[in-house]
Structure 1
Amino acid sequence: MALEHIIRKIDEDARAEAESLLSLARAEADSIKEKARKQAEELRAELLREAEKKAKEHANRIQVLAGLEQRKETLKEKRNLVEEAFTRAEEKIRTLAPDEYCALLKPLIVSAVESGREEIIPSAAHRHLFTPDFLKEINDELGPQRSQLRLSEESGDFAAGFILRESNKETNLTLESIIKDRRDQIEPSIAAILFGEDGKNG
């Protein structure tokens, strides 16, 4: 009876330890998920701040240019600066660390999914990041009604991002498409900083 008691005690202690470890693991997973979400939000904000900072640094130098030929050169430089800001943003996204890249893409995928039966066409350069675990995270977040998202056998000929496809319907969230959409949204504010009152004459 003493031996059975000891065995039962060991079994109870092991179960308690397993429950404790499981609880810690869940808490850690929640913490990692929240951190990834915050990093994605901070990254998006940083891209806008960087573009605006770049614009402000050049505003004074641009505004002192005068004369017809100078205004032409000013306009050209301003356009180049706007283009440079978006080029830098695109390069930054393209060269993100794997965990930052996944943290950026995950909310984009979740928000773009409709039926949950779509397939993801990743860029060839980032296909290796779409691991079974990453896809499971996405499907888990989509919920039981929309958790059949899968990786396509195809890889896209684009720098980064992805395409969601179901039957003949495609949702284009490639880096090129995202940058274009973002450009349409923030270019007016950047242009306002760059051009200012001088833009009325240039």
Structure 2
Amino acid sequence: MGAEAILEKIRKNAEEEAAALAKQGEEKAEAAAGKIRADAEAEAAAILGNARQRAEELEKRERLMAGLQIRKNTLAARRAVMDEAFSLAGEQLADLPKERWEALITRLLLEAAETGAEIMEVPAADREKYEWTPEGNLPIIGEKSFFKRLNAALKESGREGKLTLADAPANVTGGFRLMGPVYDVDASFDALLSQAREDWEQEIYRILYPKDE
């Protein structure tokens, strides 16, 4: 083979190798570009998915907060109704007719007294109800006064019937306080309503809001 033929073959082989390398480079470049696109699409999908999830979480949280606020407002409204109901009950206790008031005080005293010789504190506004006779002729504890009848009721129940009325008034709006040798009893209307509220609150809710059952 002559020198020219050898050079031609080398040139041809070089061209073929260059073409092959170029093709291989194009394929690698295309593959790299495809991978980049795939990676970009995957990243975009991940970002979109995270954004969607975040949006759903925010929406869920907003619904939850809105629900909690509604529930809070509802509970506040119900609490206001309860407050009004017990405030009205306190007013009704304070305005009881004489016979019903005396019957209530008598029942409370018989339940609270231990020996029948306790000291009874009453509100200043109620003192005359205990001391005055039915005729209202003298501001003293007469034989027909309500206080005397309370002691008679204590004696009939088997207790001493030696209850005394404290000089100092009780700092309550209604009812009384009883001081005994062993324990004291707060039978004020405020204390009774407070205890009743604790005991009956759920039942009153069921009465006021039966649709929640």
The whole-number CA distance in structure 2 between the counterparts of 1:118 and 1:75 is: 43
SS state of the match for residue 101, structure 2? Answer: helix
Provide the residue aligned with 1:137 in structure 2: 149
Please state how far the C-alpha of 1:194 moved relative to its aligned partner: 3.9
Deviation at 1:174, TM superposition (A): 0.8
Deviations 1:167-186 (A, max 9, x none): 47311101111111111221
Residue in 2 aligned with 1:3? none
Cα separation, 2, equivalents of 1:161 and 1:113: 14
- Secondary structure of the residue aligned to 2:173 is coil
Q: Who is 2:122 aligned against? A: 122
Q: Secondary structure at the match of 1:163?
A: strand
Which structure 2 residues correspond to residues 1-202 of structure 1 after superposition, within 5 A? 68=67, 69-131=69-131, 132=141, 133-143=145-155, 145-167=159-181, 169-195=183-209, 198=212
Counterpart of 1:117 in structure 2: which amino acid?
A
Mapped partners of 1:98, 1:193: distance in 2: 30
Deviations 1:129-170 (A, max 9, x none): 112321221111222642111111110111101001124731
Query: Which is greater in Rg?
Result: 2
How big is each residue's C-alpha offset from its partner over 1:54-101, in whole Å with a ceiling of 9 and x where there is no partner? xxxxxxxxxxxxx63443322211111111111110111112233332
Answer yes or no: is the 8 Å Cα contact 2:114–2:180 preserved in 1. no
Query: Does the residue aligned with 1:137 lie in a helix, a strand or coil?
Result: helix
Instruction: State TM-score, norm by structure 2.
Output: 0.56
| Aligned-partner Cα distance in 1 for 2:159–2:73 | 57
- Paired AA for residue 96 in structure 2: L
Which structure shows the higher helix fraction? 1
Gaps of 5+ in 1: 1-66
SS at match of 2:202: helix
Task: Give the structure, 1 or 2, with the largest relative contact order (CA under 8 Å, sep 6 or more).
Answer: 1
Unaligned runs of 5+ in 2: 1-65, 132-140
- Structure 2: distance between partners of 1:151 and 1:100: 21
Structure 2 counterpart of 1:186, one-letter code: W
Aligned length: 133
Give 1:162's aligned amino acid. F
The amino acid across from 2:103 in the alignment is A
Change beyond 3 A, Cα 1:77–1:118? same
Identical columns (%): 27
